[in-house]
Chain A
Amino acid sequence: MNGQTPISIRNLSVFYGDLQVLKDVSLDIPANRITVIIGPSGCGKTTLLKSLNRLLDDTEGVRIRGQVVLDGEDIYAPRTEVTRIRKKMGLLSQRPQVLPMSIYENVAYGPRIHGLRARRDLDRRVEHYLQVAGLWDEVKDRLREPASVLSVGQQQRLCLARGLAVEPEIILGDEPTSALDPQSSQNVERRLAELKRDYTVVVVTHILRQARRVADYLAFLYLGELVEHGPAADVFAAPRDPRTRAYLTGEIS
Chain B
Amino acid sequence: MRLLKDALARRAMGLVAALPALLVLLIVAGLFLKSKAILAVEPLSKLLFSSAWHPLKGEFGLLPFITGTVWVTVTALVLAVPVSILAAIYLSEYAPRWVREGAKPVVDLLAGLPSVVYGVWGVILVVPFVGNVLAPLAGVHSSGYSILAGGIVLAIMTFPTIIHVTLEVFASVPQALRDASLSLGATRWETTRHVVLRKGAQGILAASVLGFSRAFGETMAVLMVVGNVPAVPRSLFDAGYPLPALIANNYGEMMSVPSYDAALMTAALVLTLIVLFFNVLARRILVRVERRVR
Contact = CB atoms under 8 A, between A and B. Distances in A.
Co-assembled chains A and B: yes
Interface string A77-95: 0000001101101110111
B111 interface: no
B25 to A, nearest CB: 40
Interface in B122-149: none
Given A97-B174, A100-B195, A101-B198, A159 B185 contact: no
A50 B183 CA distance: 9
Given A60-B97, A109-B194, A86 B183 contact: yes
Nearest to B94: A58
Contacts of B97: 60-61
A21 interface: no
Interface in A61-84: 61, 83-84
B182 interface: yes
A55 B181 contact: no
Interface string B92-118: 000011000000000000000000000
A53 interface: yes
Contact of B185 (A50, A97, A113): A113
A230 B96 CA distance: 40
Contact of A113 (B96, B177, B184): B184
Contacts of A166: 184-185
A224 interface: no
A30 B139 CA distance: 71
A114 B187 CA distance: 10
A189 B79 CA distance: 52
A87 B186 CA distance: 8
Contact of A162 (B96, B182, B184, B187): B184
B195 A95 contact: no
Range, interface on chain A = 20 to 34
A163 interface: yes
A109 B199 contact: no
A99 B181 contact: yes
Interface string B191-231: 00011001100000000000000000000000000000000
A97 B199 CA distance: 12
The interface size bin for chain B is 10 to 19
A110 interface: yes
A83 B186 contact: yes
Q: Which of B183, B198, B199: most chain A Cβ within 10 A?
A: B183
A97 B184 CA distance: 12
B180 interface: yes
B184 A53 contact: no
Contact of A86 (B174, B182, B198): B182
Contacts of A53: 183
A100 B97 CA distance: 26
A168 to B, nearest CB: 9
Interface of A: 50, 53, 55, 60-61, 83-84, 86-87, 89-91, 93-95, 97, 99-101, 109-110, 113-114, 159, 162-163, 166, 172
Interface of B: 96-97, 174, 176-177, 179-187, 190, 194-195, 198-199
The 5 closest A-B pairs by CB, nearest first: A87-B185, A91-B183, A110-B184, A97-B180, A83-B185
10 contacts: A50-B179, A55-B182, A61-B97, A86-B183, A86-B185, A93-B180, A97-B179, A100-B195, A109-B194, A163-B183
